Amino acid sequence: MDVSASDTETDDYAKPLLRRKEEGDAPRARACCSCRYGLAVLSCYAFFVAYALRVNLSVAMVDMLNSSSSGNHSSSVCPSHSGPPRPNHNHTASVYNWDSETQGWILGSFFYGYIFTQIPGGYLARKYGAKWLLGVGILGTVVFTLLTPLAADLGAGYLIAVRVLEGIGEGVTFPAMHAMWASWAPPLERSRLLTISYTGAQLGTVVALPLSSQICFYLDWTYVFYVFGAVGLLWFVLWALLVSSTPETHPRISEKEKLYIITSLKNELSSTTDQVPWMSILTSVPLWAIVVAHFSYNWAFYTLLTLLPTYMNDILGFSIKQNGMVSALPYLGCWLVALFGGQLADYLRETLQIRTVIVRKALTLVGMIGPAIFLIAAGYTECNYILAVVFLTISSSLGGLSASGFNINHLDIAPPYAGVLLGITNSFATIPGMVGPVIGRALTRNNTIGEWRTVFYISAAINIFGAAFYTVFGKGTVQQWAVHRVHSQ
């Protein structure tokens, strides 16, 4: 007899929870000091490192440029904000005569490597285990980060090559972590665990932007890469010593927690690890709904991530010391809202028993249309820098709700293949990082407010389209092709 997805699917995880209680299955293990929440914290640190290494160049770039070089302006469109004089000893690093087009290619080059390892990362993590794949990937990025000053001195082409190699290392992080969470995250704790984990990306941005500006101000831009490289090396040591790919292989997990995790996932995970239903995956409409939403959200996210320090400097007139702090505010809000969204999503699903698909779509709508509205509004603030910063902060903050929307929907529709699915969606979602900075700098050659307004309009329109597409075609149930068929006599 075949047990197919239609027999086992449910769109509400509260009902399986009640059935487990009736069947006498393992009770929930405590969260405090547990291995699964320990993994969430260390993976949060992992994404902190990954994004710190990704965005520090955005701030350092402002200090790496010769202000008198072609295509760069020594003054901002709006009145500059006065700041303390820079220490005399910070003028030892080289500066470069890169025009706006070259800057765009340097800032976008990371993503040309990043896209290359997305799908292989998801497949290899599922087949061989995620711990070392993720660990070695970020370690490689750390090594090339430490080599960045040398590459910049050799020329823009060498710097682009190093950034591409950094992207190749980081490309495995999200697919590998998704594959790991497929084995570690009980369904009713999924939103909380994954938002703790993945909001390390916003936290890394929040810390890296202001800290990079302070390092540039008091030392020079080369130390930005040395400091964050050292932070990454420390993470790798902790990751190697404390983390295991699955609960079954963890040496220090309690039997109660192990039983709780395995029992809660027993109806979701396939017992086979070799065969991937590629045709079913590639023709899945719910997957393409995530692809479109992920692509659309990342267009605005990556445009701001790479170009916001430039906007703050060239338009609003913030100094290098002020730039990083102000640029970090939108991501601080995004981090806090994402953490709140994870708690809210699990509360709505578990306590109020609202269907998963409704929760995912509602958070995606607010987390994509809200940012679009405030991004457009930011383009009309002219030189009112307080209002501009407020609107940009609200825009990015609301985007944090998407972390509990489409961003973890892979685990809802196909838990056994979550890493593979994220590799696919993140491949498409990397394209905005590749072309967004290039298009953004091409559209802002003269650094006028009108040009930047066009950049914001494009990002907002793409965001709204992605939210609408996901609302129509997104699903919250395990798909039939993702459920292991069991044959019994």
Q: Is residue 105 part of a domain?
A: yes
pLDDT tens string 273-330? 457 889 999 999 999 999 999 999 999 888 877 778 778 878 888 776 677 778 788 8
3-state secondary structure 257-296: HHHHHHHHHCCCCCCCCCCCCHHHHHCCHHHHHHHHHHHH
Q: How far apart are alpha carbons 476 and 355 in whole angstroms? A: 8
Q: How far apart are alpha carbons 374 and 300 in whole angstroms? A: 12
Q: Between 105 and 18, name the one with better pLDDT.
A: 105
pLDDT tens string 66-103? 765 434 444 667 777 666 666 665 557 888 988 878 88
Q: What is the CATH number of the domain that holds 169?
A: 1.20.1250.20
Q: Is residue 24 part of a domain?
A: no
pLDDT at 269: 55
* Number of neighbouring beta carbons within 10 Å of residue 214: 15
Q: Which domain holds residue 255?
A: 12-17+32-79+99-487
Q: How far is CA 39 from CA 177, 319, 393, in A?
A: 10, 38, 29
Q: Is residue 94 part of a domain?
A: no
Q: How far apart are alpha carbons 30 and 405 in whole angstroms? A: 26
| The token pair that represents 260 in the structure block | 């709780």
Q: How far apart are alpha carbons 305 and 61 in whole angstroms? A: 13
CB 232 within 8 Å of CB 246: no
Give 213-217's long-range contacts (Cβ < 8 A, gap of 24+): 213/59, 213/320, 213/321, 213/322, 213/323, 213/324, 213/325, 213/327, 214/321, 214/324, 216/59, 216/60, 216/62, 216/63, 216/90, 216/320, 216/321, 216/324, 217/86, 217/87, 217/90, 217/320, 217/321
Chain-centroid distance, C-alpha 467 = 18
CB 139 within 8 Å of CB 232: yes
pLDDT at 3: 36
| The token pair that represents 207 in the structure block | 């810390």
Q: How far apart are alpha carbons 130 and 419 in whole angstroms? A: 9
Max avg pLDDT among 27-36, 157-166, 175-184: 157-166
Determine the average pLDDT of the residues in 59-71. 70
Determine the average pLDDT of the residues in 221-229. 95
65 secondary structure, DSSP code: B
CB 166 within 8 Å of CB 145: yes
Going along 407-485, which residue ranges are E strands? none
Position 11 pLDDT exceeds 50: no
Determine the average pLDDT of the residues in 116-137. 87
Q: How far is CA 457 from CA 309, 371, 374, 377, 453, in A?
A: 19, 11, 11, 10, 6
Angle between helices 320-350 and 385-399 (to 10 degrees): 30
Determine the average pLDDT of the residues in 34-58. 92
pLDDT tens string 461-479? 999 999 999 999 999 988 9
HSE-CB of 1 using CA atoms within 13 angstroms:
4
Q: Is residue 256 part of a domain?
A: yes
Determine the average pLDDT of the residues in 140-157. 95
CB 341 within 8 Å of CB 363: yes
Pairing of strands 2-3, 486-487: antiparallel
pLDDT at 365: 96
pLDDT tens string 409-464? 998 999 888 888 988 998 899 898 888 878 888 888 888 888 899 999 999 999 99
Q: H or E segment at 486?
A: strand 486-487
Counting the structural domains of the chain, the total is 1
pLDDT at 1: 33
Q: How far is CA 365 from CA 245, 327, 361, 399, 404, in A?
A: 33, 25, 6, 10, 11
pLDDT tens string 394-407? 999 999 999 899 98
Q: Is residue 117 part of a domain?
A: yes
pTM listed for this prediction: 0.75
Angle between helices 418-443 and 449-473 (to 10 degrees): 160
Tokens 């699955």 correspond to: 246
User: Under 8 Å CB-to-CB from 402, ≥6 apart: which residues?
Assistant: 293, 297, 363, 364, 367, 368
Determine the average pLDDT of the residues in 155-160. 94
pLDDT tens string 21-43? 433 355 777 778 889 999 999 99
Q: Is residue 464 part of a domain?
A: yes
Q: Is residue 436 part of a domain?
A: yes
CB 317 within 8 Å of CB 79: yes
pLDDT tens string 328-356? 888 889 889 998 998 899 899 888 889 99
CB 212 within 8 Å of CB 324: yes
CB 441 within 8 Å of CB 104: yes
Position 16 pLDDT exceeds 80: no
Q: How far apart are alpha carbons 171 and 161 in whole angstroms? A: 15
Q: Is residue 93 part of a domain?
A: no
Report the percent of the chain where pLDDT is more than 90. 41
Q: Which amino acid is at 51?
A: Y
* Number of neighbouring beta carbons within 10 Å of residue 31: 13
Position 386 pLDDT exceeds 50: yes
Q: Between 104 and 194, name the one with better pLDDT.
A: 194
pLDDT tens string 407-416? 889 989 998 8
User: Under 8 Å CB-to-CB from 314, ≥6 apart: which residues?
Assistant: 73, 76, 77, 444, 447
| The token pair that represents 488 in the structure block | 């019994």
Q: How far apart are alpha carbons 130 and 134 in whole angstroms? A: 6
* Number of neighbouring beta carbons within 10 Å of residue 377: 18
3-state secondary structure of 323: helix
Q: How far apart are alpha carbons 259 and 282 in whole angstroms? A: 34
Max avg pLDDT among 25-34, 185-194, 223-232, 347-356: 223-232
Q: Between 266 and 51, name the one with better pLDDT.
A: 51
Q: What angle do CA 3, 7, 9 make, to 5 degrees?
A: 120
φ/ψ bin of 61: left (φ > 0), alpha (ψ from -120 to 50), beta (otherwise): alpha
